[in-house]
Amino acid sequence: MAFLRLAFFPGGTAAHWEAVVEAVGDLPPPEARRAFASGPIDGGWQVVQLWDTRDALEQFNRKIYFPAVSPLVAGGFPETPIVHDVDTVDAWIGEDHLP
């Protein structure tokens, strides 16, 4: 089944998010990522990702995300995210049922 990650960045703002996006660069969406959303919520910034598998997300983080954001000492999010992972039982996008 699909894998869902919710990452809440306490104290995060649009400026922090823009710094992260700039660091990662303009990449095409990873093939295994089915949905992505981010935005401000009370107390910080929320990121929601739906992937085919946990391994696909971890591989993207290892190869792309972490190397890109590691130089962001100032400008990146002020705190480590609070992460909630869900190994889904069911996942749908539109009319498509995900593996």
Q: Assign domain 3-92 to a CATH class.
A: alpha beta
pLDDT score at 99 = 66
* Residue range 8-30, pLDDT digits in tens: 999 999 999 999 999 888 888 89
What distance, in Å, lies between the first and last C-alpha atoms of the chain?
Answer: 5
pLDDT at 96 over 80: no
Domains of the chain, residue spans:
3-92
pLDDT score at 74 = 64
Nearest to 13 by CA among 41, 42, 44: 44
DSSP 27-61: -PPPTTEEEEEEEEETTEEEEEEEES-HHHHHHHI
Nearest to 60 by CA among 71, 45, 49: 49
* Residue range 20-67, pLDDT digits in tens: 999 888 888 899 999 999 999 999 999 999 999 999 999 999 999 989
> d(Cα 40, Cα 10) in Å, to the nearest integer?
10
Q: What is the mean pLDDT of residues 77-98?
A: 85
